[in-house]
Chains A and B, each alone.
Chain A
């Protein structure tokens, strides 16, 4: 018979037990009667000899071995009943836990793949990033440095280089600008991944003037070619050239270094003319990655690379700017991927752990308060013979009954939370596709739920079982502040302190973001629509010397003309660089006429059409703006930014001074005006040196220009009409990155905003939980002190006195919590430093404001129980004793 069968036959066995004992008693009584006792006395003696029949039955049930399960069911039913009697308590506990578990699960789901899981490649720990060193910082490498390492280094299974590639695919469908990468043939081997269909790149593909071949991502293959495997060996048109598709990557392939990349083609750089220094092969623009040989550490690899760097050989000539004399920087791929977001994620993780802690403390407090109210009940049960372990088990069951639904509901919260997180996430967040509530996380949540149930259950169980039944019974109707209440007060203090830490962090982030958006970007962002217009295809291959008459220049001029005719457009202009758009590689060296040789400034170079500066609303400080006079045949004119003017000319008039922008063999540009500074990369960064020249007078035309349009009404509304106007000039040119300037401003602070939103949510949750905690403790204490309060008012205490008594009790707790919390917050703010802007981590205003907020909330939380206490009718409470 298994225990399950026995359990099912419980009723039957109970009956048999009853029958067996009855037989014994009757038989014994009959024997005694045979010896001459009267029936009543005989039965009494028989019962005495057997002992208490209920206790015997109980021991027999124990002996049967199904006891634990029966007890469990009984505990379970009892717990359900007793929780059902206090639905408010049960709901608050379950919701609190769900919140804590849900929030931490959601954050863990997001953080886990980014910070803790290894990257989705075989032996991902062996993949490293390799950087050249410039001014002590990481710098991209040149092609020839890469070639030298490939030839000379022995530390790697494969070394690969890559650069972004944005070809436009034309064909039967609309032109589409794709995100891709030009890579060395070893790229996929270095990652340890091979195509699911077709073949990987070979060395023969990656030759100067080699074959046009491409490998597609699974997503692109399905989107554009319907997942048809006959695409292999067929040709597609990219930038007017035919490329043969040789492979398709697996669906699960994740390109962590360029997540939006959808196709790859070989780099095909020229490895022959190493002494020709004026080539792209000697430009610092490639990212380099390597797969270490098994068993080799990063340090060993770095030592070998540095040895190579410090021992040039004749075969590999090196120019001054790629001398490698500072060696290499070697990072793990994981570090490279997470570097940008780690501070924010760790801060958020810390915050959510605080929330979880507060949630646990809160539930513990609720259970303790309940335990206190039930002391009479437990004392009664103990007096009736319930064992201490039995009582503890009962309480543990009740805690678990709260924790498990809390965990289940928490997972639902997490599911919603993860979706919210992905929607909110800053664009820099890597591995977005890997973020989901997964099994690990599920286990994590349930583990936490169970653990909390046990931990939270233990404390009241310890209190209840420790209590001496006699004193418990005596105190069942009135309790004095005992040890359990001390514990609860300590917990409330902890809760307040934790909430304060979160609120201060949220406050600091809020102030940072305010400061950030208070920074003047240098232009007027309202009613400003922006987009990037690309030119691609062989039609733009004509002579580059005659900029003004080039097809590309004509296309941009026609497009601008058409855009200005669109109704609702007030002004429009093109620029090679768009502030806050993430445009890179806009920095050039400039040299003023009287600069020393080798001197000069690194500035942002804006190549603009006339009207750009007016459209943006950039202020003119001196002189004039660029206009239609500044054509190719006119003397070259340049505007410089205010800070560059200040730095270079120090109070002298810069107008009329001359400067070289770009190649030194071009004619001098004459400064015709000074304009206000503009934030280019981010509101937080101050890089104000800039020059502006016209597209007509530039020595080349960029193949992509950003259009800015000042609109009369809502900027987003005119976008379709503007796109149509541009396509009226050439229907094949892709238009990307359409966004209002306000959107760009918001996006530029995305990471801080992300952290802020989470901290605000957590801070509010913490505040509510802490308030609940204070309320719970005071209200419990008022209930327990009813008699004392009644006595006090009978002896003449006014309502005001009583009110003050209770509020003071709450405020003392708050005060202690605030003091501890303030020091905690000061320590915790260290972790936030990288996310702050324009605010000290010890900003007194934030600390003060948060303290006041917390104090107000806790006064409100105190007020309700205090009010109840003040309305105590002494006659009623005193009589109740």
Chain B
């Protein structure tokens, strides 16, 4: 079993937005998807998933409707709003910039060690 990492501060929102961007989805499925996609590296604390969803809904980045699942049960499905999509793009871009920069710095210090 690979080692599990805690999510860096603020990245949970970004991950949720990315998952929801793929199509309307309910809370449990988001948790499942995050865990699967990250190959269990990312430990999604389920307890903080729902407050995050509600916060994003409150900020107007997500919208929600009650719909039936394929098993015929009623669940709350989240989807991305226009504002949410814009937010996702900005945050994803800035995340990539940040990781690139961090990567550069890490490589630099490795070079220095040689």
* Chain A bound to chain B: yes
Q: Which residues of A come within 8 Å of B, CB atoms?
A: 16, 19-21, 23-24, 26-28, 31, 49-52, 55-56, 59-60, 62-65
Q: How long is the Cα–Cα vector from A416 to B3 in the complex, in angstroms?
A: 77
Evaluate contact between B28 and A28: CB separation under 8 angstroms: yes
Interface residues of B in 35-87 (CB under 8 A from A): 45-48, 50-52, 54-55, 58, 66, 73-76
Determine whether B24 belongs to the interface, using a CB cutoff of 8 Å to chain A: no
With a cutoff of 8 Å between Cβ atoms, the chain B residues found around residue A52 in the complex are 47
With a cutoff of 8 Å between Cβ atoms, the chain A residues found around residue B73 in the complex are 23, 26
With a cutoff of 8 Å between Cβ atoms, the chain A residues found around residue B48 in the complex are 59
Q: In the complex, what residue of chain A is closest to B51 when comparing beta carbons?
A: A59
* A/B interface sample: 5 pairs, CB < 8 A: A21-B50, A24-B27, A51-B45, A51-B46, A63-B58
Q: Which residues of B come within 8 Å of A, CB atoms?
A: 26-28, 31-32, 45-48, 50-52, 54-55, 58, 66, 73-76
Q: In the complex, what residue of chain A is closest to B27 when comparing beta carbons?
A: A24
Q: How long is the Cα–Cα vector from A62 to B47 in the complex, in angstroms?
A: 14
With a cutoff of 8 Å between Cβ atoms, the chain A residues found around residue B76 in the complex are 16, 19-20, 23
B31 to chain A, nearest CB (A): 8
A756 to chain B, nearest CB (A): 64
Tell me whether A27 and B47 are in contact in the complex, defined as CB-CB below 8 angstroms, given that A16-B76, A63-B55, A63-B58 are known contacts: no
Tell me whether A62 and B50 are in contact in the complex, defined as CB-CB below 8 angstroms, given that A20-B76, A23-B26, A24-B28 are known contacts: no
Evaluate contact between B28 and A60: CB separation under 8 angstroms: no
A385 to chain B, nearest CB (A): 14
Q: How long is the Cα–Cα vector from A59 to B51 in the complex, in angstroms?
A: 6
Query: Which of B32, B52, B54 has its CB near the most chain A CB atoms (within 10 A)?
Result: B54
Evaluate contact between B47 and A64: CB separation under 8 angstroms: no
With a cutoff of 8 Å between Cβ atoms, the chain B residues found around residue A64 in the complex are 54, 58
Tell me whether A23 and B46 are in contact in the complex, defined as CB-CB below 8 angstroms, given that A56-B51, A59-B51, A60-B54 are known contacts: no
Q: Contacts A56-B47, A62-B51 known; list 12 others, CB within 8 Å.
A: A16-B76, A24-B28, A24-B50, A27-B75, A50-B46, A51-B47, A59-B48, A59-B50, A60-B50, A60-B54, A63-B58, A65-B58
Q: How long is the Cα–Cα vector from A501 to B67 in the complex, in angstroms?
A: 75
With a cutoff of 8 Å between Cβ atoms, the chain A residues found around residue B74 in the complex are 19, 23
Q: In the complex, what residue of chain A is closest to B66 when comparing beta carbons?
A: A16
With a cutoff of 8 Å between Cβ atoms, the chain A residues found around residue B47 in the complex are 50-52, 55-56, 59
Evaluate contact between A49 and B46: CB separation under 8 angstroms: yes
With a cutoff of 8 Å between Cβ atoms, the chain A residues found around residue B58 in the complex are 63-65
Evaluate contact between A23 and B75: CB separation under 8 angstroms: yes
Q: How long is the Cα–Cα vector from A394 to B51 in the complex, in angstroms?
A: 24
Q: How long is the Cα–Cα vector from A64 to B57 in the complex, in angstroms?
A: 8
With a cutoff of 8 Å between Cβ atoms, the chain B residues found around residue A55 in the complex are 47
Evaluate contact between B52 and A63: CB separation under 8 angstroms: yes
With a cutoff of 8 Å between Cβ atoms, the chain B residues found around residue A49 in the complex are 46
B51 to chain A, nearest CB (A): 4
Q: What 9 pairs between A and B have smallest CB-CB spacing?
A: A51-B47, A59-B51, A63-B55, A63-B54, A27-B28, A63-B51, A24-B28, A60-B54, A50-B46
Q: How long is the Cα–Cα vector from A52 to B48 in the complex, in angstroms?
A: 11
Query: Which of B48, B74, B76 has its CB near the most chain A CB atoms (within 10 A)?
Result: B76
Query: Which of B28, B31, B32 has its CB near the most chain A CB atoms (within 10 A)?
Result: B28
Q: How long is the Cα–Cα vector from A21 to B45 in the complex, in angstroms?
A: 14
With a cutoff of 8 Å between Cβ atoms, the chain A residues found around residue B31 in the complex are 24
A391 to chain B, nearest CB (A): 22
B81 to chain A, nearest CB (A): 14
With a cutoff of 8 Å between Cβ atoms, the chain A residues found around residue B75 in the complex are 20, 23, 27
With a cutoff of 8 Å between Cβ atoms, the chain A residues found around residue B66 in the complex are 16
B67 to chain A, nearest CB (A): 12
B92 to chain A, nearest CB (A): 22
